[in-house]
Copies of this chain bind each other. A is one copy, B any other.
């Protein structure tokens, strides 16, 4: 048995009183569920900034964010980085190009690939968006100590690596 005693669904048989608190804890201590609903809530809250203020989707934001640190990326590379499937990436790119936030230039070596870059317009939007995203994140983590924040990222890194091990 793991030392972490994740929620035990049969536990309710042992102590029928306090059922209310205990069942709250049950799913509430099942890591996949907790993690998923936390991430979901954060995503939704943040996408209010992307969506309402800037009119872009999460997929579009991810494409833009990656383009902000790298000059030339292809759709495929963005798909690898963001773990979005290529159809989703393709549609995000189409939409961003339609709004002239990014531009595409065909590679001369390989006619199939297109390098993507931010336009001036796209850079300007990111120049506004990114600080707001960071400000929001800062507000979210404001109740954590520096150590807690570092430990969180650290632990998440461990889980990611273990996940890769389980997957691979």
Contacts and interface: CB of A to CB of B under 8 A. Distances in A.
A63 to B, nearest CB: 11
Number of copies of this chain that the complex holds: 2
Interface string A36-64: 11111111011000000000000000100
Contacts of A4: 138, 141, 144, 146, 149
A153 interface: yes
Which secondary structure characterizes the binding site on chain A? Answer: helix
Interface residues of A, number: 68
Nearest to A41: B163
Given A2-B141, A69-B23, A35 B39 contact: yes
Interface stretch (A24-32, A90-98, A101-109): A24-32
Given A36-B42, A38-B159, A166-B139, A130 B27 contact: no
8 contacts: A4-B138, A4-B149, A23-B66, A37-B83, A39-B39, A143-B158, A143-B162, A144-B159
